[in-house]
A and B are shown apart, each in its own frame.
Chain A
Amino acid sequence: DGGITQSPKYLFRKEGQNVTLSCEQNLNHDAMYWYRQDPGQGLRLIYYSQIVNDFQKGDIAEGYSVSREKKESFPLTVTSAQKNPTAFYLCASRRDRSNQPQHFGDGTRLSIL
């Protein structure tokens, strides 16, 4: 079945470390997104990409980086510059048509040791 796979499900980071969250989709979707979810705040957009080798900052991009070398993959790196990285991270993808909804992965929960 087609879908979006996020790994790992749980991730722990030490202070000062960079960590990379994986997001892979086999839906042949053009656009991919990363969101951060904190309790009571809904989803906030970190980065998004509409095409390979191109991506744009969302509302809270500071302390994060992404790459889009392949259509299927959109990994997110949480750098040591992100001072409050503990959160639930969701990846989404969609066909790049104006009325198409997003499809979501099952998320990665990142915690600081």
Chain B
Amino acid sequence: AQSVTQPDIHITVSEGASLELRCNYSYGATPYLFWYVQSPGQGLQLLLKYFSGDTLVQGIKGFEAEFKRSQSSFNLRKPSVHWSDAAEYFCAVGVSNKFYFGSGTKLNVKP
């Protein structure tokens, strides 16, 4: 069965520091991979997606993610975090028109 693991439930970083959120998936082939962000009481907004080709993908708001096939990982990164980045982040895998989500990582940003 497909699964998506986000091992960090909460992460706190200082404003201006770098960020890496981890995501591992379990699937036989290379799936379609996504990162979404959710503010409290809101829907999910797509940050970036990976289908094939270059394993480093750029997204909105200065985020990027790197696909590593050997590690079944798709980690999200940002070089310098802003206070407005505080939110919950979800990794998702797309397989045959269905999507599987990780349990999310809540990001707090210290001033």
Residues of chain B lying within 8 A (CB to CB) of residue A104 = 36, 43-45
Interface of B is mostly: strand
Question: Scoring B residues 37 to 58 as 1 if CB is less than 8 Å from chain A, else 0, what string do you get?
Answer: 0000111111001010000000
Q: Given A41-B103, A42-B103, check contact A101 B46 (CB 8 Å).
A: yes
A102 with B103: CB separation less than 8 A: no
Q: List the count of A-B residue pairs having beta carbons below 8 Å apart.
A: 56
B39-86 contacts to A, CB under 8 A, are: 41-46, 49, 51
Closest to B45 in A: A104
Q: Is the Cβ of A50 less than 8 Å from the Cβ of B97?
A: yes
Q: How far is the CA of A43 from the CA of B104 in the complex (A)?
A: 9
Chain B 12-51 near chain A by CB (<8 Å), digits 1 or 0: 0000000000000000000010101000011111100101
Q: A107 is contacted by which of B42, B51, B99 (Cβ under 8 Å)?
A: B42
- CB of B9 within 8 Å of the partner chain: yes
- Interface residues of B, CB < 8 Å — how many? 22
- Tell me whether A103 is interfacial, beta carbon within 8 Å: yes
Which residue on A lies nearest to B48, using beta carbons?
Answer: A101
Q: In the complex, which residues of chain A have a beta carbon less than 8 angstroms from the beta carbon of B97?
A: 31, 48, 50, 96, 98
Q: Which residues of A contact B (CB under 8 A)?
A: 4, 6, 31, 33, 35, 40-43, 45, 48, 50, 58, 88, 90, 92, 96, 98-99, 101-107, 109
Which 10 pairs from chain A and chain B are nearest by CB?
A104-B43, A42-B103, A42-B101, A43-B101, A104-B44, A99-B51, A106-B43, A101-B46, A105-B43, A101-B49
